[in-house]
Structure 1
Amino acid sequence: MNHEELAARLSKAVAERTAIEPLSDEYPDLDLEAGYAVQRVLRDQAGPLAGWKLGVTSRAKQAQVGVSAPVCGFLPAAAALDLGEPLRAGELIQPRAEPEIVFVLGRDLSGAHCTAVDVLSATSGLAVGIEILDSRFRDYRFTMADVVADDTSAARYVVGTPVPPAGVDVRLVGVVLEKNGELVATASGAASLGHPAAAVAWLVRRLALSGEGLRAGEVVLSGGLTAATPVASGDVVTVSIDRLGTVELPVSE
């Protein structure tokens, strides 16, 4: 299979705002490593990076889809939304929102033996995040290899004002997701791999396989804490996390 050609299919789906069939329908031998190879092509074409994101960080979800570890993707700087800036739903195919705990790196972090303690010591701030997913595959139907190739459905994201991490136990913070003033879901930070910092440590170890790491100033979305909720023009999504604050995201056409 040609990784560049598969990446071009995904880029075309984004540009035309039209969902496509999973790559694995045509290439049933597409595996996770091939998915990451396609993702790398997309990353090389994406311009400056702002950071990284994790997916499938729930142990229950991992068991459901038959994997034993999370997956990861990259965050282009161009995908960031500023506080108060609306999400333009018309730019996307089938957007969904989910709450995230965001880590802001205060120093570089790398290595094949990185632990959650290392992550916490390298973190300069924690923040509320809202990630907007937008699978390029019709009806969100895909294998794990497909979703990795598709940059784990990354589309847009907004990050609140970071707070110092000292004294914040991110396992225990309560998370509330609302849409249009109605409660959608609740969770705790432990929903991400038992400890969000452990999820970030996994990411560092994964990046070490290709000689990469996290850089000071980068942000890491440490994994969706609830099921993602569909959004459309006119909606307002609000995420509140104990000790970290609240972020509101309006959705326009």
Structure 2
Amino acid sequence: MAQTHLTVPEDSIAAAAARLREAAATGVPTIPVRDLIGRDDVQAAYAVQTRLTAERIKAGATVVGRKIGLTSTAVQQQLGVDQPDFGVLFDDMAYSDGSAVPAEAILQPRVEAEIAFVLKDDLTEGLLDHAQVSGAVGHAVAALEICGSRVADWDISFGDTVADNASAGGYVLGARQVPLTDFDPVTAEMTMMIDGETVSTGNGAACLGDPVTALVWLARQARELGSPLRAGQVVLSGALGPMRPVTPGNAVQATVTGLGTVSVTFS
């Protein structure tokens, strides 16, 4: 996935980035960017994402981790794609457990529940196999990801969502931190409720068969791209069930067995 030998002209990459940048700045979703970079050109899509990430870092944002997307078959079916992707988590995307997210903070918000991993070691060397990667996890925690699309009506192909930072918007981590020696991500069961009504269920096996497998995939891709995962970073490992739209006034709570609950409201 290294960004070399692009088949898409640089001006098309720049134009796609400009559309998404303007949507983020104005709060007005844009038309898709697949006419510029293709529906499934992985290198071109990540080239757009990398350009926008560099701009945010230059403007003062700090990278605090990554998010893995499209790991659940249910979510892949929702969006019509068949492979994972990843995006960058910035410091201004974090919300406290139980806090309120302003309605205007995230475009076209949808929420999904997942398992997050916080790393205690860098993942820069070695095979990056399941044993090494799981050993680098400091703890797991229940998480809500607030996905947001800068593309109007969530009319996205794989290329659109990757370019748009994997539709990242915000995230919330629960309070309970559990080492992997005391927690099995595969068998964990998830229930997500909006305003007290169950709207999404699933389990760890829905995330590429094992959320740690998703983390292995990400660790290898991140290293290949030259930005390996680092100690202290948060990784959202992917949805355990379908994501759901939210509107102002909604209260969301998710429970992951072994990890407890995590919640957020929308104001």
Conserved in 2, the CA contact under 8 Å of 1:112 and 1:208? no
Q: 2:107 aligns to what?
A: 93
Q: 1:55 aligns to what?
A: 69
Match of 1:6 among 9, 16, 22: 16
Conserved in 1, the CA contact under 8 Å of 2:30 and 2:150? yes
**Structure 2 CA distance, aligned partners of 1:229 and 1:112?**
38
For structure 2, the residue ranges without an aligned partner over 5 or more in a row are: 1-8
1:165, distance to aligned residue in structure 2 (A): 2.1
Q: 1:79 aligns to what?
A: 93
- Going from structure 1 to structure 2, the CA distance change for 1:140 and 1:111 (only over 3 Å counts) comes to farther
- Going from structure 1 to structure 2, the CA distance change for 1:204 and 1:112 (only over 3 Å counts) comes to farther
1:163, distance to aligned residue in structure 2 (A): 1.9
Match of 1:32 among 42, 47, 51: 42
**Structure 2 CA distance, aligned partners of 1:144 and 1:111?**
29
- Going from structure 1 to structure 2, the CA distance change for 1:225 and 1:30 (only over 3 Å counts) comes to closer
1:16, distance to aligned residue in structure 2 (A): 1.0
Equivalent position SS for 1:216: coil
**Structure 1 CA distance, aligned partners of 2:187 and 2:39?**
40
Q: 2:207 aligns to what?
A: 192
Q: 1:201 aligns to what?
A: 216
Q: How many residues align?
A: 251
**Structure 2 CA distance, aligned partners of 1:112 and 1:230?**
40
**Structure 1 CA distance, aligned partners of 2:101 and 2:169?**
10
Which residue identity is paired with 2:25? A
Which residue identity is paired with 1:205? R
Which residue identity is paired with 1:206? Q
Q: 2:3 aligns to what?
A: none
- Going from structure 1 to structure 2, the CA distance change for 1:130 and 1:194 (only over 3 Å counts) comes to same
Which residue identity is paired with 2:171? Y
Asked if 1:238 is matched to 2:253, the reply is yes
Match of 2:149 among 113, 135, 141: 135
**Structure 2 CA distance, aligned partners of 1:27 and 1:168?**
41
For structure 1, the residue ranges without an aligned partner over 5 or more in a row are: none
Match of 1:171 among 172, 180, 186: 186
**Structure 1 CA distance, aligned partners of 2:120 and 2:27?**
36
Match of 1:154 among 153, 168, 177: 168
Q: 2:241 aligns to what?
A: 226
1:9, distance to aligned residue in structure 2 (A): 1.6
Match of 2:137 among 118, 123, 126: 123
1:171, distance to aligned residue in structure 2 (A): 0.2
1:209, distance to aligned residue in structure 2 (A): 1.4
Q: 1:18 aligns to what?
A: 28
1:219, distance to aligned residue in structure 2 (A): 0.4
C-alpha deviations, 1:107-130, integer Å up to 9, x for none?
Answer: 111347312222211111100110
Q: TM-score, normalised by structure 1?
A: 0.93
**Structure 2 CA distance, aligned partners of 1:59 and 1:116?**
21
RMSD: 1.9
Q: TM-score, normalised by structure 2?
A: 0.88
- Shifted more, 118-127 versus 25-34: the winner is 25-34
- Going from structure 1 to structure 2, the CA distance change for 1:29 and 1:247 (only over 3 Å counts) comes to closer
Identity %: 37
- Going from structure 1 to structure 2, the CA distance change for 1:28 and 1:198 (only over 3 Å counts) comes to closer
Asked if 1:145 is matched to 2:159, the reply is yes
Which residue identity is paired with 1:88? P
**Structure 2 CA distance, aligned partners of 1:61 and 1:83?**
24
Conserved in 1, the CA contact under 8 Å of 2:39 and 2:157? no
- Shifted more, 112-121 versus 152-161: the winner is 112-121
- Going from structure 1 to structure 2, the CA distance change for 1:92 and 1:211 (only over 3 Å counts) comes to closer
